[in-house]
Homo-oligomer: A and B are copies of this chain.
């Protein structure tokens, strides 16, 4: 399908269910996609950070692309992360994603390499030229260790290099500079601004963001769709109430013992445990070297779901 000129609503970063021996569990993945579509999402983002993309070999990535694009069959747009260290490696992922039939790609600045602003500029322009379909910049300084400035993003938008931004920087002032700049400059049209900050979605939408890419949306897509619907219809107080409920639910990412595992294992482990407890995926297996939650920690996830009326 063709992407809409402005991508709006909830576009969750789709978790990647795995079998106990760390292969992609395609049956669970299909159920997860159905769960999200039933929840009312307006698009899917596969192979993002919440999808454990950095942990998945190319073979796994291809299975995810083929499974999701095939199952969705054009019912809603599919964006794909093409996450890798530098330009030529990213372009390889772009080719695979394009061949699989995705509707847009999501690209970070180079990482691991020490990269100058002029090189970040060149990177996005080369990837966009090779892609031939809409490109979204993925701003994730916690992983990439550089921040995409508002001026750079806006220039990319004006030059047609980018179709949108997925901002997971947590920098709301910077996000607002992009939103306001895109509105105030006369040379930008059809630029979609998505926030990845799942605890401030109502704020982002009030500021003028188009949509949201919430990791927690795997667990409770209906909640985020409600939130966006309230916002779209101007019921901002209801949007806030729903957001606050989701913030309390989000606490489940903290169940993992910080002496045994990192925040990433804890958060992804909790999302997957919740999806397992809700009967959507077969196991909560994560790709190595992530550390699995133990039964006590999973019991805490269960409590969060009960409190949120999700079990």
Q: Which residues of A contact B (CB under 8 A)?
A: 22, 54-60, 83, 85-89, 91-92, 110-116, 118-123, 126, 142-145, 170-173, 176-177, 180, 184, 197, 199-200, 202-203, 206-207, 236, 240, 244, 247-248, 260-265, 287-291
Q: How far is the CA of A183 from the CA of B287 in the complex (A)?
A: 36
Chain B residues with CB below 8 A from A207, complex form: 200, 203, 240
> Nearest-CB distance from A267 to chain B (Å)?
10
Given A177-B247, A197-B172, A287-B86, the answer on whether A114 and B126 have CB atoms closer than 8 Å is: no
Is B112 touching A176 in the complex (CB atoms < 8 A)?
no
Residues of B within 8 A of A180 (CB): 244, 247-248
| Chain B residues whose C-beta falls within 8 Å of the C-beta of A263 in the assembled complex | 114
Q: Is the CB of A116 within 8 A of B262?
A: yes
Chain B residues within 8 Å of A261, by CB: 116, 118-119
Q: A110's contact among B110, B199, B289, by CB below 8 Å, is which?
A: B289
- Complex contacts, A236 vs chain B, CB 8 Å: 206, 236
Instruction: Say yes or no: B197 contacts A206, CB within 8 Å.
Output: no
Identity of the chain B residue whose Cβ is nearest the Cβ of A55 in the assembled complex: B86
